[in-house]
Amino acid sequence: MRNVYQEIIDEGNEILEKGMGHLRRRTRTYTPVSPIKEYKPHEIKAIRERHQYTQTFFGEYLGVSPKTVQAWESGINKPTGATLRIFQVLEKDPHVLDKYILLEA
C-alpha cells in the first residue's frame, strides 16, 4: 500500500508536468570553484611584503584598518570570506592589484 504523502506528491508532479508542459526546463551548469584557502599569519605578511605594501596601504586597499592587517599577521585575528579569496588571487597573479588599484587623482 502506497504512502498517502507519496501519492499526493506524485499527483502534484503530474499536474505540474501537464500544466507546464509548454515551458522548457532550465538546465543548471555547475562550475567548480576552488575551496578557499586558510592563510597562516606569516603567509599573509609574505603576500603583503611581496607587493611591497605597508600595512596601512594594504589595509586601505582591502577596506580594513592597519590594525586589522597587523592582527592577521600576528595571528590574533583571522581573515575570512572575500579577503581570503583576494589573497588567493594575489598569490596566483602577483600583478593583479597593479591593474585595479584605485588611487585618488
Overall pTM > 0.95 = no
What pLDDT sits at residue 91? 87
Is 1's pLDDT higher than 60? Answer: no
pLDDT digits 0-9 by tens, 42-99:
999 999 998 888 999 999 988 999 999 999 999 999 999 999 999 998 888 877 777 7
Between 24 and 46, the higher pLDDT residue: 46
The amino acid present at 10, given as its one-letter code, is D
- Could you give the 3-state DSSP secondary structure of residue 49? helix
Which pLDDT value is given to residue 5? 66
**69, 48 in Cβ contact below 8 A?**
yes
Please give the pLDDT value at position 8.
73
Coil, strand or helix: which one is 100? helix
Domain spanning 41-100 has what CATH number? Answer: 1.10.260
Compute how many other C-beta atoms are within 10 angstroms of the C-beta atom of residue 90: 17
